[in-house]
Amino acid sequence: MAHEFKTQTEANKAMVYHITIKGHLDSQWSGWFDGLAISPLENGETLLSGPVVDQAALYGLLRKVRDMGLPLLSVHYVSSSESETSQVNR
């Protein structure tokens, strides 16, 4: 089994995620979601996006989505270069 090992720089770098939920959230919830950007989309969904330090933090965010009773639509890892050079279009 082949394993990929991250360099120390990569290991310390937060990963960027896009989490899509059904319904709209006000930007005031950003603090509750650890500072993620909250972007209401025209299709009635909300995009939570930003850096997440590790998988434990990601699971914590997903638990908050669940605890609020928000329907989770998708979780997408976005590479750092992708997040810096592209915008989400929905």
Residue 77's domain comprises: 13-83
In-domain check, residue 32? yes
Per the structure, the count of domains in the chain is 1
Distance of CA 1 to the CA centre of its chain: 29
- pTM: predicted TM-score of the whole model, two decimal places: 0.75
> Is pLDDT of 18 > 80?
yes
Residue 8 lies in a domain: no
Q: If you search the block for the tokens 């082949």, which residue do you land on?
A: 2
CATH code of the domain containing 22: 3.30.70
21-80 residue pLDDT tens: 999 999 899 999 999 999 999 999 999 999 999 999 999 999 999 999 999 999 999 976
Q: Look at residue 31 and tell me if it is in a domain.
A: yes
Residue 90 within a domain: no
